[in-house]
Structure 1
Amino acid sequence: MDTIYALASAAGKAGVSIIRISGPDTLRICADIGAEIREHDRRLVRLTSEDGSLIDQAFAISFGHGRSFTGEQVVELHIHGSPAIVTAVLDRLNGLGLRLAEAGEFTRRAMDNGMLDLAQVEGLADLIDAETESQRRQAVRVFNGALGKLADSWRSKLLRAAALLEATIDFVDEDVPVDVYPEVNELISAVSEEVTHEAAGVRVRERVRDGFEVALVGPPNSGKSTLLNRLAGREAAITSDIAGTTRDVIEVRMDLDGLPVTVLDTAGLRDSDDVLEGIGIERGRVRAQSADVRIHLLENDLAQAPKTENGLDIYLKSKADLSDTTSETSISGLTGLGVDRLLEQISDYLKEQIAGAGVATRTRHQVALEKASIALGTVTSGLESGALPVDLLAEDLRTATRALDSLIGRVDVENVLGEIFSSFCIGK
């Protein structure tokens, strides 16, 4: 296997930059550039060029095999972060025959060496991209192995259920329970309930990662763009008294109590002979329909506002600054009246959606979970009706197990044999 290297910290001038080296020749290469260090060690070293001249004084940290991020021998060189020093050290390593790491290769090696599972790799990617507190918390849970622990628990139960079914086929003797179906049903029911719950929560968890959408909808000149600018804290949209000023969806990202939110300013809803405005209105309708929250801004009767089936609809009387009377349904993007109350309402709703949504965060997870759920449903129905042969039910259990194994990048169903031997003392 190649020994690889790369700059592990951000490019550009810094107080300290970190260069990471991983692979079988790490310690030898480090010794060649003056960083003589043991397998698991840390020390101040002098990095030298080919002619022996000093490049930089650095702090080297060595992580032994099985004790590093990649699982291989790793050395991190903490050098002074000037671009000239970084370039000189990287060139020196390249000259000694090391290969520059490919994108994500350190993490790929960590997974290949069993330091991370596939879900943890995804969690690490999300953690690096996290912009809000809710994104960080969600990513940390996945990176810390929460989904892997669930998958291991499900796998253990399904292996036990499969072992019981297999035993009725191949190992009918005094050590095998006569009626294994009640325990099989109990195991499958427990897994199925948890899998269904996880699959149902994927969409919300995806929104935490990618951002919730809040759409501002209403007729022209209802104050949508003014409210958007108030929420954004800047002039994100052009405002005027001319109807049809906003012709396309304008997006503003914001952090709402730790939640990632994209606010959408849509074109004013009306019948228009203007082709371009009509396209903008239709785009706004489509985006609003799929948004998590829709804020309907109206100047007249709130009861006439359109109703939708998904997400939260909030109906408000806009331009409260022009009215002599105000209420909890009034808002003004110009003065800020009612804006804090609106943000609190949105935040409470989104936090309620997140609560108890589970740890599966990606469409890939949802597909695997739903595949497992279908297979488990087939087994449950087959056990109840007695219409399916036991060997087919066992195969459906293996299908469910493989689907759940794919969550963490492990596809291995041969362990069912080990479960049979350990549970029933077969072959003693």
Structure 2
Amino acid sequence: MNLSYAPTTIAAIATAPGRGGIGVIRISGRELLPFALAISGGKTPKPRTATYTDFFAADGTAIDNGLLLYFPGPHSFTGEDVIELQGHGGPVVLKMLLARCVALGARLAEPGEFTRRAFLNDKMDLAQAESVVDLIDAASETAARGALKSLKGAFSGEIHAMVEDLITLRMLVEATLDFPEEDIDFLKAADATGKLASIRSQLARVQATARQGAILREGMHVVLVGEPNVGKSSLMNALAGDDVAIVTDIAGTTRDTVREEIIIDDVPVHVIDTAGLRDTDDVVEKIGIERTWAAVERADVALVLVDGREGITPNVEAILARLPERLPRVFVFNKIDLAGEDARVDEEDGHPVVYLSAATHDGVDLLKGKLLELIGYKGEGESVYLARARHLDAIHRAGEHLAVATSEWQQVEIFAEELRLAQNALSEITGEFTPDDLLGVIFSRFCIGK
């Protein structure tokens, strides 16, 4: 059967690359019933019911067999007609099926295009769409639960509620613009400032919850710095719970950055072990030291390792002088088992100090707790939804506009404009005021088939 379809029909392999028991191909477009008939050899699928069938090539030979599911739009994931072919998970078979779909008029889907169509067809808002990839990429159970909450609309519901409250307040304020001689008295009588204070309180609560969700999603980047042979690689192994870095008594063993992701109370922590910082003529070691400083620039926290028997040496002071001022640092006095010290947390010049032994792991849990404290994680993962940097930025901007509105409420035109800007900032989160170029960036980070 020779069929031709609109160029808007898209197809992709929706399962992960490689061999598997089941492979899924997803197709989305308009009026796909003829498509389903062609690939199933004339079987008419019942909507939203699995149909067991062979999948046929153009010459009538079977490519594979399995289940065909047909979801007529708008009652589908994308809002269009959707077909799913669930066959065997061999890469060659899936490529043959995908080629057949293309021959029938579909084109290969771009990354995130199915979810983008769901967003454009009002099946979900932008925050929910982003939570799809967050759920796939979740690094912990708590992060997965937070992503699912966002996908089901918990985060969006909070944003929509504040937007509705802002719209109501804007209607009240803008109604007074036609009667300037009575505007202030009217706003006082309507308790406009009280309504605004309530919105700001709600925004602060959402901001705190979103911040916790962003920590769960993004984690933090921790860089280990210090002189050679102070135990950076040993601490890396202690934090990771595995021998991920080579440990010897030879100074300069680590010549490049070694990265490992660990989970501390469901928070992903990206730990970077670095070359010991010292003057050296070794070309390879010099390159490693340059990479150390590059890693420092990108880090969220620096762990400054010190040999507990020697304390802060002139070389350590030189390292501290080069650390960026904005970078929080934790002093880690290692080798307390050799120095005769006890594991504890202290403070010096406003910086936390942790005494531990990377060799015996004594005090390592104290360090983990201090790291979570530094980034403000309160362990409230069950109640959070995952948030992204752009969400936090939009919430922050909305808060700034509401602060101006609070201070300028008697200047009614300014008051009204700041409320409008706050509403627009919040609406960016759900995609009501989102530029197309931003949508392109967001969905390009999705995997193909989603």
Same fold (TM over 0.5): yes
Question: Using a 3 Å threshold, how does the CA distance of structure 1 residues 133 and 316 change in structure 2: closer, same or farther?
Answer: farther
- Matched residue of 1:222: which SS? coil
Partner of 2:428: 406
How many Å apart are 1:203 and its aligned residue? Answer: 5.9
> Corresponding residue for 1:345?
369
Q: Report how far residue 178 of structure 1 moved.
A: 6.2
Q: Which residue of 294, 306, 316 maps to 2:303?
A: 294
> CA separation in 2, counterparts of 1:19 and 1:92?
11
Q: CA deviation at 1:287?
A: 5.0
Give the equivalent residue in structure 2 for 1:163.
Answer: 171
Name the residue aligned to 1:208: 216
Distance in 2 (CA, whole Å) between partners of 1:164 and 1:332 is 63
Question: Contact 2:233–2:273 (CA<8 Å) still a contact in 1?
Answer: yes
Report the more deviating stretch, 90-99 or 152-161.
90-99
Shift of 1:165: 0.8
Match of 1:13 among 16, 19, 44: 19
Residue 255 (structure 1) aligned with residue 272 (structure 2):
no
> How many angstroms does 1:185 deviate by?
1.2
Question: Does 2:41 correspond to 1:26?
Answer: no
> Which residue does 2:335 correspond to in 1?
318
Aligned residue among 353, 377, 387 for 1:361: 387
Distance 1:311 1:201, change over 3 A: farther
Q: Distance in 2 between matches of 1:164 and 1:231?
A: 56
Query: Is the contact between residue 131 and residue 150 of structure 2 (CA under 8 Å) also seen in structure 1?
Result: yes
Residue type of the alignment partner of 1:318: K
Task: Tell me if structure 1 keeps the 8 A contact 2:231–2:305.
Answer: no
State the 1:153 CA deviation: 0.8
Q: Deviations along 1:249-303, whole A, 9 cap, x unmatched? A: 4322223343211222244456x36597678668657755843463644323768
Is the aligned partner of 1:372 residue 2:372? no
**Equivalents in 1 of 2:287, 2:27: separation in Å?**
54
Quote how far apart the aligned CAs of 1:244 are. 4.0
Q: Retained in 2: the 8 A contact 1:44–1:59?
A: yes
Amino acid at match of 1:361: A
Judged with a 3 Å threshold, the aligned counterparts in structure 2 of structure 1 residues 85 and 359 are, in CA distance, closer, same or farther, namely closer
Aligned residue number for residue 103 of structure 1: 111
The range that moved more, 53-62 or 355-364, is 355-364
The answer to whether the Cα contact below 8 Å between 2:215 and 2:267 also exists between their aligned partners in 1 is no
Describe the shift of the 1:332–1:396 C-alpha distance in structure 2 as closer, same or farther (beyond 3 A).
Answer: closer
Report the more deviating stretch, 229-238 or 133-142: 229-238
Contact 2:212 2:380 in 1 (8 A): no
Matched residue SS, 2:229: coil
Superposition map of 1:166-181 within 5 A? 166-170=174-178, 179-181=186-188
User: Does the CA contact (< 8 Å) of 1:39 and 1:73 recur in 2?
Assistant: no
Higher relative contact order (CA 8 A, sep 6+): 2
User: Relative to structure 1, is the Cα distance of residues 406 and 107 closer, same or farther in structure 2, using a 3 angstrom cutoff?
Assistant: same
Distance (Å, rounded) in 2 between the aligned partners of 1:361 and 1:250:
28
Equivalent residue, structure 2, for 1:228: 236
Which position in structure 2 is the counterpart of 1:333?
Answer: 358
Contact 2:216 2:266 in 1 (8 A): no
Matching residue's letter, 2:251 = A
1: CA distance, partners of 2:327 / 2:101:
56
Check whether the contact 1:3–1:98 (CA below 8 A) recurs between aligned residues: yes
8 Å contact kept, 1:253–1:261: yes
Deviation at 1:140, TM superposition (A): 2.2
- Quickly say closer, same or farther: Cα 1:360–1:90, change in 2 above 3 A: closer
Q: 1:120 aligns with which of 128, 143, 154?
A: 128
Out of 21, 45, 52, the residue aligned to residue 53 of structure 2 is 45
Residues in 1 aligned to 2:62 and 2:257: alpha-carbon distance in whole angstroms: 57
Secondary structure, aligned partner of 1:122: helix
1:5-32 C-alpha deviation (Å, 9 max, x unpaired) = 2111123322111111212131111011
Which shifted more, 221-230 or 273-282?
273-282
CA apart distance, 1:106:
0.5
- Greater shift, 202-211 or 26-35, is seen at 202-211
Question: The residue matched to 2:50 in structure 1 has which SS?
Answer: strand
Identity of aligned residues (%): 34
Return the offset for 1:342.
4.0
TM-score (norm 2): 0.76
Q: 1:393 aligns with which of 407, 415, 418?
A: 415
Question: Using the alignment, how far apart are the partners of 2:155 and 2:310 within structure 1?
Answer: 48
User: Cα gap change, 1:350/1:378 in structure 2, threshold over 3 Å: closer, same or farther?
Assistant: closer
* Runs of 5+ unmatched residues, structure 1: 413-428
Cα distance per residue 1:192-213 (max 9 Å; x no partner): 2333454566665444323323
* Distance in structure 2 (CA, Å) of the matches to 1:117 and 1:288: 37
CA distance in 2, matches of 1:87, 1:215: 43
Other structure's SS at 1:189 match: helix
TM-score, length-normalised on structure 1?
0.80
Q: 1:171 to 1:45 in 2, by over 3 A?
A: farther
Tell me the matched-pair count.
Answer: 402
